[in-house]
Amino acid sequence: MRRVLTATLCLAVSLPGLAAAADPIDFAFLPSIVQPHPASGPLMDVARAGKRLVAVGERGVITYSDDNGQSWLQAAVPVSTTLTSVSFPDAENGWATGHGGVILHSADAGEHWQLQFDGRQGNAQFLAWSQAKVQQLQAQMDAAEPDSIEAQDLEIDLEDAQYAVEDAQLAVETGPVDPFLDVLMLDARRGFAVGAYGMLYSTADGGEHWKLDIDHIDNPDRYHYYAITAGADGMLYIAGEAGLLFRSEDSGEHWERLGDVYEGSLFGVLADGKVVLAFGLRGHLFRSDDQGDSWTEVPTDIEQGLYGGAVEKSGEILLFGAGGQVLRSDDGGHSFSARNHPSRATFASGLPDGTGNYLLVGMDGAVELHWEHGQHE
């Protein structure tokens, strides 16, 4: 779910233009400080690790609950940077991402975490990729007919690639800055992390190696990726800045740009079979019945941004957003009913417990919403 971030405005994970901000390097890579109430501060995402709930948030806080959110303990985390997303493909193994390009792994259901990757490695990989791109384009130019249309196009591409090298060299000097905004693990070995400025990394060995994986996705302007999800049919989807929507039918080997659905940013994407939902700025919500080939807008009657969502096994769909907005659908996303949490806090993510109660996380930490009869708790 999601989402660019700053330490003081955590839910800016959903806002473009802030991706360059990050915690100071001398603080970000110190262990997270123990908090007296770890679930009361800003939290960015929540996931299930078996029956356990695990939430991540500001200042490296990762907190977990074994009683459905009634009480919370804080995990041991080696960084203090804001964490934006968490994914558990099974009850024991989890991954979390955040500022400074950090990727963390837990092998004990979220109680202890180790740093697998950070922006220093990411910057080095992007510099190497950019330099190789320049060499490739230069070789193509040398082989092209002088003054041909091909040569002219290659000259433009080469100039852009040289600028990319300069940007990459500056990033290496500056240090890890750009945040990851979402992580998706398909199983305990295969997964993806996406984020600001077109960051897309993948692993095939449980995170022992994370590699820059942008050769097969068309995002030359390096727009931000806010969310990545998988459908039960194996399709993968990415949503991002400026209406970006991508689909992969081969586990991320290649990505196809979907049709222009919306010019504004799409902060989230959910998939349930052939049904796909994309949502974002000012409550805009779009639905596809054919795996993203065509789209229709779904009325929400709200103007607040939608930042996250969840699809339950029952088929129930939940969306979360600014100002305490929570939307629910029990007809496959054809229509939604809305509730507004009395706190009016902005929510980034949440999960239902199957009894009419919902555990939401956002600027006010972890809170409950009771849907029955329109009553809130």
**CB burial string 125-153: b at 16+ within 10 A, e below:** bbbebbbebbeebeeebeebeeeeeeeee
Nearest Cα neighbor of 339 from 373, 294, 299 is 373
pLDDT at 16: 34
Q: What angle do CA 314, 64, 177 make, to 5 degrees?
A: 100
pLDDT at 372: 61
Name the pTM for this structure.
0.90
- Round to whole Å and give the CA distance between 292 and 257: 10
pLDDT in tens, 37-89: 999 999 999 999 999 999 999 999 999 999 999 999 999 999 999 999 999 99
Length of the chain: 377
Residue 267 has pLDDT above 80, yes or no: yes
Residue 25 has pLDDT above 70, yes or no: no
Residue 358 has pLDDT above 90, yes or no: no
Residue 369 has pLDDT above 90, yes or no: no
- Round to whole Å and give the CA distance between 86 and 93: 11
pLDDT in tens, 340-349: 888 889 999 9
Nearest Cα neighbor of 359 from 374, 373, 341, 375 is 341
Residue 312 has pLDDT above 50, yes or no: yes
Name the percent of the chain lying above pLDDT 90.
Answer: 73
pLDDT in tens, 319-337: 999 999 999 998 999 999 9
What value does the mean pLDDT of the chain take? 89
- Round to whole Å and give the CA distance between 153 and 250: 30
| Burial (CB count <10 Å: 0-12, 13-18, 19+), residue 313 | exposed
pLDDT in tens, 116-166: 999 999 999 999 999 999 999 999 988 888 889 888 888 898 998 999 999
pLDDT at 26: 64
Work out the average pLDDT over 266-279.
Answer: 93
